[in-house]
Amino acid sequence: MRKRIVYASSLLLAGSLLLSACSGESASPADPGTGTSVGDPSGEAPAATNLLTEKIPASDISKLPQTAVQRTDTVIVGLTDPSGSFTPYFSQSGYDGNVASLLYTSLISSDAEGLPVADYAESYDVSEDGLTYTFHLPEKGTFSDGSPLTSEDVAFTWTLLHDKAYDGDTDITLMKVKGGLAYKEGKADSIEGINIIDPYTISVTLEEPNATALLNLGGNVLSKAYYGKDYKFGELTYLQKLHSAPLGNGPYILEKFLPGQEVRFTANEHYLKGKPSVERFIYKTSQGDTWQFLETGEVDLASYTATQENIDKLKGLGYVDILPYTPSTYGYFQLNLENEQMKEKEVRQAITYGLNRQAIYVDANQGAGEVANIPAAPISWSYTEEGINPYEYNPEKAKELLDAAGWTVGGDGIREKDGKKLSIHYLGSKSPATDIFIAVAKENFAEIGIDFQPEVFADFNALVSKVESKDYDMAAFSTPMLRDPSEGVIQFIDGSLPGYDNPKVKELYAKGLATVDTEERKAVYQELYQILNDELPVIFTFYRKSVYANNGRLENVSISPYQGIAQSLPEWKIEQ
């Protein structure tokens, strides 16, 4: 079993502070955004009438606070405090992944449609049978210390991820590289399917086609000289001392990490695409109000729920550009399926019917959100509503399901079964959105006879530790930015959710990877989504609609729904 709680490939924003994309990281806390104003959280709020669809440029840059004006070579963006493990594939949280995404550039990335495109690699080839992938590396490519990046480094990275001692978030065995399993089991000294053709050309052969091979094999590259100097099969503990001192090939170099304060970066003069124009970048990790940070000029970019109220307030500042943003993510409640009450599908369905998700995620955000019912975002080509139960708020239906499952109402109004009360120990991250959820959930669950016990964490890593200890019933998370539909469902098939094992789901997952034909894959995912929508191994919550506001002096800012700020950051410039 790998150590992760859930699968994630790149991280969603939390607490209105920007997270950029990074492959293979943990989930982030669920939070539809801050800066939202609501009255009665269980009542209806006015719907947004003019959600933003195009960029609104700054109207009066002269209003920019002096704190920001004085920064001529530095950009500051907010981020929830990372743990300090910044080596790709070994991150302890998605926030570590945000740091790593600036330090490393992957061989392959995603375009605006979510399809693979060469990034650090110059090009790639795929054999006619779809089994062999050849990557062509740039001859002038280097790591940030000036050492060359070659095929040897790519081969080392793939080999390391096949090591039996590797317990990080990336399960490369799902790619079924020829000879990969034999190496992992110690039956071979090398991996048969990895072929170094020359110093800048490398191929990898799979046992069967996989639609995500380019994205998953074309990830970040680890320096063999740095990370592999002490490598011995089955022994990876030596890497721990390197995680806080990463060596990458990305646009920035880690200068210093000050826990609870900031992560400092400097531009990489050896970056393949040219040294970034912005000399210094800082992730501000200290706690505080995002609106205040933006209004005082302490941060240059922040995100907010896309309510009309928030958009109007941002317009009033005058000195920020406003960008609409819909990420390829979904929110959900992770359930402890090893707890008796959560094992029952009827209970999970009753919880979903009995919770007014429309009020929490849509009405309270003035329409800047959408209720989720499947593990794919509406911007995904795999998204469907056909055959999907919307689980509209229906407390009477919830009561019927609980009655049928044998949960009877006790004298105190709480349901009981076999001498045990129906109680939900909920874990969430501290935020205004969590406050709204708790207020509504307490009322909703009391009505259907469920005892609701919320526990809120200011520190995301503490929440993760609590989930790992299995001392919970329900915990709020959001997925990372999902590059491919398979990434939205992998947590249901790879053991990330203890207590859930459906052979049919696994069969469909494999079928969805076995072809690159989009229409064929759509049909597979439609069937898969219908099963997950019925069984609810997690409870789907919301899709986000956000806006980003950035210092109007910043040029070339764009936010990828698949890679966040990491893709455009090297092109940012500060207009003087």
pLDDT band at 469 (very low <50, low <70, confident <90, very high): very high
The pLDDT tens digits for 344-402 are: 999 999 999 999 999 999 998 888 889 999 999 998 889 999 999 999 999 999 999 99
Q: State whether 482 and 504 are in the same domain.
A: yes
The pLDDT tens digits for 55-92 are: 999 999 999 999 999 999 999 999 988 999 999 999 98
Q: Does the pLDDT at position 328 exceed 90?
A: no
Q: 510 to each of 479, 490, 504, how far by Cα in Å?
A: 21, 10, 10
Residue 532 lies in a domain: yes
Structure confidence at residue 110 (pLDDT): 85
Residue 23 lies in a domain: no
Please identify, among 217, 239, 261, the residue that sits at the C-terminal boundary of a domain: 239
Please identify, among 182, 214, 239, the residue that sits at the C-terminal boundary of a domain: 239
Q: State whether 286 and 310 are in the same domain.
A: yes
- CATH number at 454 reads 3.10.105.10
- 87 neighbors 243 (Cβ within 8 angstroms): yes
Instruction: Please state the rounded mean pLDDT for residues 323-341.
Output: 92
Residue 21 lies in a domain: no
Residue 13 lies in a domain: no
Residue type, 553: R
Structure confidence at residue 361 (pLDDT): 92
The pLDDT tens digits for 151-203 are: 999 999 999 999 999 999 888 998 999 999 999 999 999 999 999 999 999 99
Is the Cα dihedral 495, 497, 499, 502 positive or negative?
A: negative
Q: Does the pLDDT at position 28 exceed 70?
A: no
pLDDT band at 223 (very low <50, low <70, confident <90, very high): very high
- The counts of H helices and E strands in the chain are 16, 26
Instruction: Please state the rounded mean pLDDT for residues 101-118.
Output: 89
The pLDDT tens digits for 268-305 are: 999 999 999 999 999 999 888 889 999 999 999 999 88
* Averaged pLDDT score across all residues of the chain: 89
Higher pLDDT, 467 or 4: 467
pLDDT band at 43 (very low <50, low <70, confident <90, very high): very low
Higher pLDDT, 348 or 514: 348
Structure confidence at residue 366 (pLDDT): 83
Strand, coil or helix: what is 527? helix
pLDDT band at 427 (very low <50, low <70, confident <90, very high): very high
Q: Report the predicted TM-score, pTM, of the whole model to 2 decimal places.
A: 0.76
* Of residues 329, 389, 320, the one with CA closest to residue 357: 389
* CA–CA dist 11, 93 (Å, integer): 9
- 513 neighbors 2 (Cβ within 8 angstroms): no
Residue 168 lies in a domain: yes
Q: Does the pLDDT at position 14 exceed 60?
A: no
Q: State whether 357 and 480 are in the same domain.
A: yes
Q: State whether 476 and 342 are in the same domain.
A: yes
Q: State whether 313 and 268 are in the same domain.
A: yes
Residue 48 lies in a domain: no
Q: 498 to each of 1, 334, 453, 504, 569, how far by Cα in Å?
A: 10, 11, 22, 17, 38
User: What's the domain count of the chain?
Assistant: 3
The per-residue DSSP string of 61-83 comes to GGGS-HHHHT-SSEEEEE-PPP-
Q: State whether 560 and 539 are in the same domain.
A: no
Structure confidence at residue 388 (pLDDT): 98
Residue 533 lies in a domain: yes
Buried b (16+ CB within 10 A) or exposed e, 182-219: ebbeeeeeebebbbeeeebbbbbbbeeebbbbbbbbbb
- CATH number at 110 reads 3.90.76.10
Q: State whether 131 and 203 are in the same domain.
A: yes
Q: Does the pLDDT at position 47 exceed 70?
A: no
Partnered with residue 265 across adjacent β-strands are: 254, 281
Residue 17 lies in a domain: no
Q: Does the pLDDT at position 119 exceed 70?
A: yes
Structure confidence at residue 51 (pLDDT): 59
How many alpha carbons lie under 13 Å from residue 98 in its C-beta half-sphere? 32
Q: State whether 471 and 405 are in the same domain.
A: yes
The pLDDT tens digits for 136-152 are: 999 999 999 999 999 99
Q: Does the pLDDT at position 24 exceed 60?
A: no
Structure confidence at residue 563 (pLDDT): 80
Structure confidence at residue 297 (pLDDT): 96
Q: Does the pLDDT at position 325 exceed 70?
A: yes
Instruction: Please state the rounded mean pLDDT for residues 94-106.
Output: 93
Structure confidence at residue 518 (pLDDT): 85
Q: Does the pLDDT at position 35 exceed 50?
A: no
Q: State whether 332 and 442 are in the same domain.
A: yes
Q: State whether 333 and 431 are in the same domain.
A: yes
Please identify, among 207, 239, 271, the residue that sits at the C-terminal boundary of a domain: 239
* Domain around 533: 328-544
Q: State whether 533 and 442 are in the same domain.
A: yes
The pLDDT tens digits for 402-418 are: 999 999 999 999 999 99
Structure confidence at residue 29 (pLDDT): 56
- CATH number at 315 reads 3.40.190.10
Q: Which two tokens stand for residue 207?
A: 């046992």
Q: State whether 226 and 264 are in the same domain.
A: no
